[in-house]
Structure 1
Amino acid sequence: MSIIQSDILILGSGVAGLSTAIKLAKALPNKKIIVATKNNKEESNTKYAQGGIAAVWDQEDSFESHIQDTLRAGDYLNDIEVVKMVVENAPIRLKELIDWGAEFDFNTQNEYDLGKEGGHSANRILHHKDITGYEIQMTLIKQVENLSNIEFLSHHFAIELITEHHFTDKTIELGQNDIHCFGAYILNEKTSEIDTYLAHKVVLATGGSGQAYATTTNPVIATGDGVGMAFRAKAIIEDMQYIQFHPTALYEPGKSPAFLISEAVRGFGAYLRNKNGERFMLKTDDRGELASRDIVSRAINMEINTSGAECVYLDCTHLEYEAFYKHFPNIVEKCKSIGIDVKKDFIPVLPAMHYMCGGITVNKKGQTSIHNLYANGEVAKTGLHGANRLASNSLLEALVFGHEIAENIIADEAVFQATFPPIPEWNSEGTIAPKEQILISHNRKSVQNIMNDLVGIVRSNERLERAIDHLNYIYSDTEKMFKHVTISPQICELRNINAVAYLIVKQSMQAKENKGAFYSLDLL
């Protein structure tokens, strides 16, 4: 086991982590920045984002319109100052991304082909076909590879944040204002060694937690690791009841993660139909298929429950096929691979867990309640999304807060002169390899099924109480295993999924009203 020191440690390699790292590396060329990710450098939630990035780009659009759309989607629980900051800085950050090499689609007038998605009152979505996230991810990786003061560590799994509770007898309470972060214990998956990474500033950019549910659009890496670590370190975490379900995941029973049929497909003009071929969204909202995600997801859920059908359908058959294919080639090809011809067949869809609107509470500079610890991206609760995220605001949020975090760290250069306290190495004494991995995978599947069945789009007190009873048992069983088995990514991911599931249920039980993505039958 080794002790490795750096100036800044960034955990996560999506748009939130990489954009922050790039800004810091360029402004602080003499500082060492480590970016650690548990998979390879290309794998992140960012990579799977299809739709695009929202920004006021057209003269007919306005900041006020984007602000109001964001507030309406968030059911007015947003932090208005944060919304203004993100929306008004969007064009600047997008221009910067384009300067770094990101390419977005043009229309026949040689202008950016601005898309429209649910909840937006104007065309303001910049996109790269239906793989916008991948284009941005590759752009940022190229920038990172040209910066010599960034060290990129793939297959390095962060286990715990290092705070006072690792080397003092001090009792640490939730939200305590004198907790400091000194780095993280990180498992090198290639050597199985757990090293101590010390850093003056730590940025959590670990993405979402979709794998807490059995049905999700999130990749298998989205196990809520940042939330889990921050929860154990006693950081303030809020609004976890606001879990956004994407209305239109491709219906493929037993397939996880579910393939996402982008919001932009409905923005392009596709209709939602029930099993009888009837459009049903206009009965719920005058925006029809372009209502915000929480409204569309609940309407689909109601339609499925009422009809007994297993899914609903997206109808693209009336759309001009060549233009549709140009915009959504991957969606067309995916449908074709399972026997669906979008020119004549409806696409079977149903909602799937998609985005965590709450998370680790941060201020406008991305600072958490723990000193020297920042959070950016889906892992953070910035106040932008309120009770429900507006489509294509997530990549934007990460870019804007990446800039704000970098500016805050750059202004605090004196912190880099501080000395580290004596941090103990990770203690693995007495642990043994698990006899059966099935015990870990069984608990993981159990949590996912509990969340799917009892903590879905529509909740109730009875379901939540049943869920917390089951989760408490799994938590106890998992912690018992964790203390006795050799540390692995699998047991760590299970712990983090447990933490996320507990927070979602607990904060759902504490909710006093139905807002945005949270809906309880007992609060009608």
Structure 2
Amino acid sequence: MNAPRWEAGADLVVVGSGVAGLSAALEAHELGLRTLVVTKDDAGAGSTRWAQGGIAVVLDDGHEPGDSVHRHVADTLAAAGGLADPAAVAAILADGPAAVSELRGRGAVFDPGPGGLALAREGGHSAFRVVHAGGDATGAEVQRALLAAARDTAPEPLPILTDHLAVDVLPVSGKRCYDTANHSRVAGILVVDGQGRPGVVRARAVVLATGGYGQLYASTTNPDTSTGDGLALALRAGAPAADLEFVQFHPTVLYTGPGARGRRPLVTEAVRGHGAVLVDAAGRRVMAGEHPLEDLAPRDVVSAAIARRMAATGASCVYLDATALDGFAERFPTVHAAARAIGVDPATEPIPVSPAAHYTCGGVLTDVHGRTGVAGLYAAGEVARSGLHGANRLASNSLLEGLVMGRRAARAVAADLAGPRRLLEGPVGDPSPPTLKAAARDLVQRTMTWGASIGRDGAGLAAASDAIDAGTAERAVTDRATGEDAALTLIAQAVLAAAGTRTESRGCHVRTDFPRTDDAHQRRSLVVELTDGALAVRPTDDTEAGAA
């Protein structure tokens, strides 16, 4: 294996340049830490820029009368299927107003409304509390503002190393070393550039902010970059993960025809928040009688109802009727353009939609400050399981989580580097690119789509696991594609293992062979760990976040 061609160093390396990564890096820089951001693509290529709906937050200086952080917490817990950590939910949402204020101070511009910012309502919310930008282009504005802030840091721009995939977390001395808190320590990351050239970034701490694993599925709202790299890195480094079986399928993704693959255009939930309704081809309401909130029910409820209606009618999609809405093109320009691109005019005809893989509720198990089970390794944003989402994410809580948890993780790093948990530097372990198990991406995506989408059963999950096992081989990670394939393969097996273990239906995990929720025995998160190359699944214990 080729030795690394170069080596760099920092106090902190942040892997990922979306909302969580840039929030962490900017906060760390302001706290005086030498910080480097590493991303496998260009700095704006991740999931953040595709987020349409907005940021759910109860603003100090402008919110719907009667709304409160307490109500936002209640809505989040109601959507979470009993597995969110109430303390984490309260802490993260309470930090929301300050995080959004700081983002606005960094230059983000949100849509104005009477007396302040315009507020939207989305599924599962009991009030209008979602701020948005560009109508339905909030993520793009957040990404723009954070990248601009990174370029404006003094005395020079925040360094961002693009086109470098993080392929391994390097432990001190090349083996699992333990500090007094009984956690292993990290010494940096190994990266591979677009030409397959390896390099080492030494760091006293690593924050993973790489997003989710939506590319496990053939049809998704996620960009090609969402291959779960950070979660796979954490598992291989010895950090536990949790709630991996809870993959949220967005109910309204533009249906572009049979066999559509890859990223598909999202039809933001805010369209239903403004009065659009779901109907089938015969014009019958899909959500009537399904939930008290009908079309504004939580996403897992709406996606499951659509899936049942499609199965009952043999249709490939349902329709979102927004023809009664005024000013659709101005309010939802992104959705309008996508619909027009397939020949649909939302002003005069319903929009064809179907569910697609959207958001991963689980990830690296962290505390409310982003600390993982490995000293020196932190995680924030969609890659992490902070306790906010539980079994199903409430709409528009994701950008808020990235803003809040990125800042919290940076502060935890600063405290741990300076305080009693000070992370000592040590010799870097074996810096050679690893050899990992990987299956072909197409095999993984096709298998997960038929075996682990909405409506799973034990036989299908077991068959999917066997199919991926059969297609897996050892491959040297010398380029981005191989590293991504290895990450997707490991995460597919982890998701299948967790989904097979949870013999109930809860949140966005729907088992057709176990349709009921088993609160008596299974109201706990499942932890997935990788030990000596084997995945193990266990319930959380009473000391871990999310334990009942």
| TM-score between both structures, scaled by the size of structure 2 | 0.88
Q: Secondary structure at the match of 2:357?
A: strand
How far is 1:418 from its partner? 3.5
Offset from partner CA, 1:26-48 (integer Å, 9 cap, x none): 121xx321101000011111010
The answer on 1:462 being equivalent to 2:459 is yes
For the aligned residues, what is the CA RMSD? 1.9
| Match in the other structure for 2:446 | 449
With over 3 angstroms needed to count, the CA separation of the structure-2 counterparts of 1:471 and 1:62, relative to structure 1, is: same
Instruction: Give the distance between the partners of 2:167 and 2:44, measured in 1 at CA.
Output: 21
Offset from partner CA, 1:312-343 (integer Å, 9 cap, x none): 000011111x2x22220111111112110111
Which of residues 501, 504, 507 is equivalent to 1:513? 504
Deviates more, 1:239-248 or 1:337-346: 337-346
| Match in the other structure for 1:437 | none
The answer on 1:379 being equivalent to 2:370 is no
Offset from partner CA, 1:259-305 (integer Å, 9 cap, x none): 10001111111110011111120221121100000000000000000
Asked if the contact 2:177–2:185 (Cα under 8 Å) also holds between the matched residues in 1, the reply is: no
2:456 partner letter = R
* Aligned length in residues: 497
The answer on 1:27 being equivalent to 2:34 is no
The answer on 1:82 being equivalent to 2:96 is no
1:493 partner letter = E
Q: What are the residue-to-residue correspondences of 1:307-322 with 2, within 5 Å?
A: 307-320=313-326, 322=327
| Match in the other structure for 2:284 | 278
Asked if the contact 1:272–1:289 (Cα under 8 Å) also holds between the matched residues in 2, the reply is: yes
Q: What are the residue-to-residue correspondences of 1:385-464 with 2, within 5 Å?
A: 385-414=389-418, 418-426=424-432, 443-464=440-461
With over 3 angstroms needed to count, the CA separation of the structure-2 counterparts of 1:288 and 1:422, relative to structure 1, is: closer
Asked if the contact 2:202–2:428 (Cα under 8 Å) also holds between the matched residues in 1, the reply is: no
How far is 1:474 from its partner? 2.3
Instruction: Give the distance between the partners of 2:471 and 2:378, measured in 1 at CA.
Output: 30
2:67 partner letter = D
Which of residues 179, 189, 197 is equivalent to 2:201? 197
The answer on 1:497 being equivalent to 2:494 is no
Asked if the contact 1:216–1:258 (Cα under 8 Å) also holds between the matched residues in 2, the reply is: yes
Instruction: Give the distance between the partners of 1:471 and 1:425, measured in 2 at CA.
Output: 29
Which of residues 28, 46, 55 is equivalent to 2:48? 46
Instruction: Give the distance between the partners of 1:367 and 1:292, measured in 2 at CA.
Output: 29
Offset from partner CA, 1:413-447 (integer Å, 9 cap, x none): 4378833214333158xx9xxxxxxxx8x821111
With over 3 angstroms needed to count, the CA separation of the structure-2 counterparts of 1:413 and 1:232, relative to structure 1, is: closer
Instruction: Give the distance between the partners of 2:393 and 2:345, measured in 1 at CA.
Output: 31
Identity %: 37
Where do 5+ consecutive residues of structure 2 fail to align?
Answer: 516-548
Instruction: Give the distance between the partners of 1:512 and 1:250, measured in 2 at CA.
Output: 32
The answer on 1:4 being equivalent to 2:41 is no
1:261 partner letter = V
| Match in the other structure for 2:526 | none
Instruction: Give the distance between the partners of 2:107 and 2:183, measured in 1 at CA.
Output: 42
With over 3 angstroms needed to count, the CA separation of the structure-2 counterparts of 1:178 and 1:89, relative to structure 1, is: closer
More helix by share: 1
Instruction: Give the distance between the partners of 1:328 and 1:502, measured in 2 at CA.
Output: 38
Offset from partner CA, 1:165-198 (integer Å, 9 cap, x none): x724x699xxx94311111100122x53101111
| Match in the other structure for 1:296 | 302
The answer on 1:161 being equivalent to 2:169 is yes
| Match in the other structure for 1:151 | 159
Asked if the contact 1:177–1:369 (Cα under 8 Å) also holds between the matched residues in 2, the reply is: no
With over 3 angstroms needed to count, the CA separation of the structure-2 counterparts of 1:52 and 1:469, relative to structure 1, is: same
With over 3 angstroms needed to count, the CA separation of the structure-2 counterparts of 1:300 and 1:104, relative to structure 1, is: same
| Match in the other structure for 1:92 | 98
1:160 partner letter = D
Deviates more, 1:133-142 or 1:396-405: 396-405
Deviates more, 1:277-286 or 1:241-250: 277-286
Asked if the contact 1:273–1:280 (Cα under 8 Å) also holds between the matched residues in 2, the reply is: yes
Instruction: Give the distance between the partners of 1:445 and 1:120, measured in 2 at CA.
Output: 37
